[in-house]
Each structure stands twice: as structure tokens, then as C-alpha cells.
Amino acid sequence: MKYCACILALVFSFSALAGWTDGHSLLKALEGQEIDDIGYRSGYFDGYVAGVSDLSVDILWCPPQNVNNGQMSKIVANYLKTHPESLHKNADSLVVDALKSPFPCKKNN
């Protein structure tokens, strides 16, 4: 588990250094999806959310078993729309922030 957390931290660190996708780009992809822009931008949002959530699940956020990709995308979409002050941040950290609020991991004491 600690090994996975270290790998995840490295991936997130490298994405911060490389200046990869930010919240503005992810929101733009979501807006393309909402206007029925079938194609790259539409699939990009759902794919990005699914990829980051798969990489960080049970490490940074802990959902119940019945949460699906569609629900996760809706949670992230709502988060991006209601937190415009955070859109300058890396998209991967925004996805995790959006998911860990409703689905925090229980601390092991």
C-alpha cells in the first residue's frame, strides 16, 4: 500500500512539473461533452476522470462498491463548476479533491 502511494505521489509530482492538464482544460472538455460534442473532448473528460480515479482509488479516496464511472464524472463535473477558484490547479489533484470529499478513506488507528 505504501509502495502504491509513493508511485502515485511521483506521478502527481511529475505532472505538476510538466504542467499537464489543468482544471481549465478539464472544464473545457466537460463543456464540449455537455453540448454533445461527440468525439475527442467528450471522451477526454470521462476518460481522464476514470484514469485518475482508478489510479488513486483506495489510496486517496475510498468509495463504496456500487459507485460507477458515470457517478464519479458527475461528482467531478459538479466540483469543477462550483470551485472556479481552483481551476488553475492540476486536473489530477482536482479529480482527487472532488472524489475524496464525498468518499474519504477511514483512518486506521
Rounded average pLDDT over 5-30: 64
pLDDT at 106: 87
Question: Quick one: cell of 42?
Answer: 467528450
pTM over 0.85: no
Domain residues of the chain, as ranges?
2-100
**For the chain, percent of residues with pLDDT exceeding 90:** 57
What does CATH list as the number for 2-100? Answer: 1.10.890.40
pLDDT at 38: 59
